[in-house]
Amino acid sequence: MPQLVTLGETFTVMVPNQSGPLRYVQSFYKVVGGAESNVAIAVSRLGHTAGWISRLGKDEFGAFIYNFLRGEGIDVSKALFDETAFTGVNFKELREGENSRNYAYRRLSAASQMNPNDLDAKYIQSAKILHVTGITPALSDSCCAAVFAAMDIARSAGVTISFDPNIRLKLWSLETARPILHKMAESCDIFLPGAKELTQMYPDQSTENVVDKLMNKGVKKVVIKNGDKGCRIYSTQGIQEIPAFVVRCVDSIGAGDGFVAGFLVGQLRGLNDYKSGEIANAVGGLAVTVLGDIEGYPTQEELDNFIRKHPVVDR
């Protein structure tokens, strides 16, 4: 059984062969992308086992995603093929000097039909970590119910729950999202928001107050991602600032998922928070050096070489 289990939607991502508005783009190439499967892939490349729960359309894009993830070593045995819905597609738009833009076609997709009946309780209970994001509950009421059902199963079995809010305002408003994201944050063991996301979730509250409230609810670690400034970790080991590595950013998409995977790998290995944060910064740093969601995620050998050769930001 996989050490890490996650659930959510994965797209076929169409990447243009030129930059500029999509109306002028003539050709694309296809890759795979999705926050939760991104984490699973990065974990797998670093030598740990990962499983992915979702629905795919019984179509060519669904077959492409299924085969690609399986080729990356992901256990896709709990991915269901839906004959009545399609696999979501996401188009990237590249602009020079800017982050890539994304246009997702996912309404009524197969993954948006996920529900609690799709879950195998024993599969989740056997994992060491269940990883969830704030994207999946935004897809539909049944997806939201599936996420909370998975968290309940994990909690009852003592499985560590990791939560990245991954706020997507194209899917829902902050007013709608906050109560759900708050509940997820209060129910997890490891909370991994970006600095901006933490402010979006808890406006007019200091970071310290938010952390105190969450830890009083039972959250064990709050890991705040802060891009090229590194990360800050709050836990029983104290407050730790882990500086970022110096890299040239080509495409920032996928960096946060890589960061999460790196931190969770550190936890799976029983490393302390600082070392876990260092791995997280390294995987996130490598992710931005190439175009694409998962193309920059390293193997263990590549990670070791990167950490040895690259300086961290001088603070």
Check which CATH number belongs to the domain holding 187 and give it.
Answer: 3.40.1190.20
User: Smallest Cα–Cα separation from 197: which of 178, 221, 219, 220?
Assistant: 178
What is the C-alpha separation between 244 and 229, in angstroms, rounded? 6
Per the structure, the complete domain to which residue 51 belongs is given by 4-309
For residue 289, what pLDDT is reported? 84
CB 52 within 8 A of CB 69: yes
For residue 312, what pLDDT is reported? 67
For residue 313, what pLDDT is reported? 60
DSSP lists the bridge partners of residue 94 as none
For residue 315, is it within any domain?
no
What are 107's two structure tokens? Answer: 């309404």
User: Which residue in the block uniquely carries the two structure tokens 């129910």?
Assistant: 187
User: Smallest Cα–Cα separation from 50: which of 31, 77, 88, 81?
Assistant: 77
Q: Which residues of the chain have pLDDT under 70?
A: 97, 312-315
For residue 273, is it within any domain?
yes
For residue 314, is it within any domain?
no
For residue 129, is it within any domain?
yes
Which residues are identified as catalytic? 257
What end-to-end distance do the CA atoms of the chain give, in Å? 42
For residue 248, what pLDDT is reported? 84
For residue 181, is it within any domain?
yes
| Burial bucket for residue 248 (CB in 10 Å: 0-12, 13-18, 19+) | exposed
For residue 98, what pLDDT is reported? 73
What are 305's two structure tokens? Answer: 């070489």
For residue 277, what pLDDT is reported? 96
Q: Which helix (H) or strand (E) holds 240?
A: strand 238-242
Q: Report the number of distinct structural domains present in the chain.
A: 1
DSSP 114-153: --GGG--HHHHHT-SEEEEESSHHHH-HHHHHHHHHHHHH
For residue 126, what pLDDT is reported? 98
> Strand 89-93 vs strand 231-235: parallel, antiparallel, or unpaired?
unpaired
For residue 78, is it within any domain?
yes
What is the C-alpha separation between 148 and 137, in angstroms, rounded? 9
Q: Specify the pTM.
A: 0.94
